[in-house]
Amino acid sequence: MVKKAKSSKTHAKTKKKPLNNSRKGTNQESSDNTAELEHERLISLINSMADGVIATDEAGRIVITNGAALSILDSNASLSGKSVFSILNLIDARNQELDLKDIVFSTKVSTTSRDWRIRYADGSIVRVYISIAPVRLGYGKGGMQGYVILIRDITREKSLEEERDEFISVVSHELRTPIAISEGNIGNAVFLFEKSGVDNPMVEKTLKQAHEQITFLAGMVNDLATLSRAERGKLTLEIEKINAHELVEEIIESYAKDAEAKSLALTSELDPHLELLESSKLYTKEVLQNFVTNAIKYTEDGSVTIGAHQGQDGIEFFVRDTGIGISKSDREKVFDKFFRSEDYRTRANSGTGLGLYVTMKLSRLLHADIELESKLDVGSTFKIYIPNIKS
């Protein structure tokens, strides 16, 4: 009886082993099925995207493409395993071939461009938006790493932008002469009225309002003209040696009356050891003027300071005010085209939302970096570091 019981227990143990193996196999199958299902979902998601998607491994070999990418690349065959550098032929705005391998391998963070083009074998060209992003797994995790390239055909969009820019250019050019004549005539009328000694507050107020509005219109047309040239790549640099002390003093002299009209102190804070700056005086001055214009406009009490410090290979200018400040959310959009804050104090002042956008365009032309520090109800400081440009 004892032997039978032992034999029975032994027999029961031997039966459990294949049961465990079967369970492991089932789990493995379930895991494989889940992974396959997730892969199919990923492929379906990528194929449903309107933008072209190309995923590559670390060497630039294509792993995944979707239908939109094949359409833009004008291919009906699978591109899997091929080098993206031999498939995607990019050129710049001057029709010069780009080194895509260098662009991709040097990409450390996501980078985008709307100025590149794809040239097909037959010589035809389409303009594209391209985003290149490296793919990195978490620290210590295995698996494939590589790059994801998004492509969108923006040929029509770019064509419409160029038509718009051409329209702005023509309109701003045609409006300059009549606006200049009107501004001069109204300015003369204001001057003559003040000298006449006639006591008519209504006429005086009307003339001054007309002069303010025509001056505002002249500034807006000037911004539009600069914007048009910047958007069309028509801005060119004329490099010259700039005396930063003299430049800042010129700006202070130009804005002294505006600051005085609001009882603001307009001062300078200059490094006594500033060296001559080699850059475009025209655009450097325009950038600083835009900063000063905004500082005076949005400061009701206190001061506006224009300063400059010597850098390693250039000069850092700054404009600091004690104005209304800029909220954190607005700081992220303040350089966007036509952006106007919803703050009622900002809305109380007229503006086009183009000044800082044009400033950012000019800063890129100057190879400069802009930094903004601001706190609501305390003030703002705009800094721009302008490097020397060797002519």
Name the CATH topology of 49-153: Beta-Lactamase (3.30.450)
Structural domain spans, the chain: 49-153, 156-234, 237-391
**Quick one: pLDDT at residue 35?**
66
**Quick one: pLDDT at residue 39?**
65
Contact criterion met (CB below 8 Å) for 65 and 53 = yes
Q: How far is CA 158 from CA 180, 188, 379, in A?
A: 33, 44, 39
**Quick one: pLDDT at residue 12?**
41
Cα(355)–Cα(375) distance, integer angstroms? 20
What architecture does CATH give domain 237-391? 2-Layer Sandwich (3.30)
| Phi, then psi, of 213 in degrees rounded to 5 | -70, -40
| Ranges of H-type helices in the chain | 2-47, 67-72, 84-87, 100-105, 155-196, 201-231, 244-261, 281-297, 328-331, 344-347, 355-365
User: What is the tens place of the pLDDT at every residue in 131-147?
Assistant: 999 987 655 455 558 99
How many CB atoms are closer than 10 A to CB 324? 23
CATH class for the region spanning 156-234: mainly alpha
**Quick one: pLDDT at residue 160?**
83
**Quick one: pLDDT at residue 128?**
93
**Quick one: pLDDT at residue 355?**
80
Which candidate, 143, 89, 145, places its Cα nearest to that of 116? 89
pLDDT tens for the 391 residues of the chain, in order? 444 444 444 444 444 455 455 555 566 666 667 767 776 777 777 778 888 999 999 999 998 889 889 898 888 888 889 999 988 989 988 889 999 999 999 888 888 888 899 988 888 889 999 999 998 765 545 555 899 999 999 998 888 877 877 787 788 888 888 998 998 999 899 889 888 888 888 988 999 889 888 988 888 888 787 777 777 666 778 899 999 999 999 999 999 999 999 999 999 999 999 999 999 999 999 999 999 999 999 999 999 999 999 998 999 999 999 998 988 888 888 888 777 776 666 655 666 677 888 889 889 889 999 999 999 889 999 999 999 988 6
**Quick one: pLDDT at residue 303?**
95
What pairs with residue 248 in β-bridges? none
**Quick one: pLDDT at residue 370?**
94
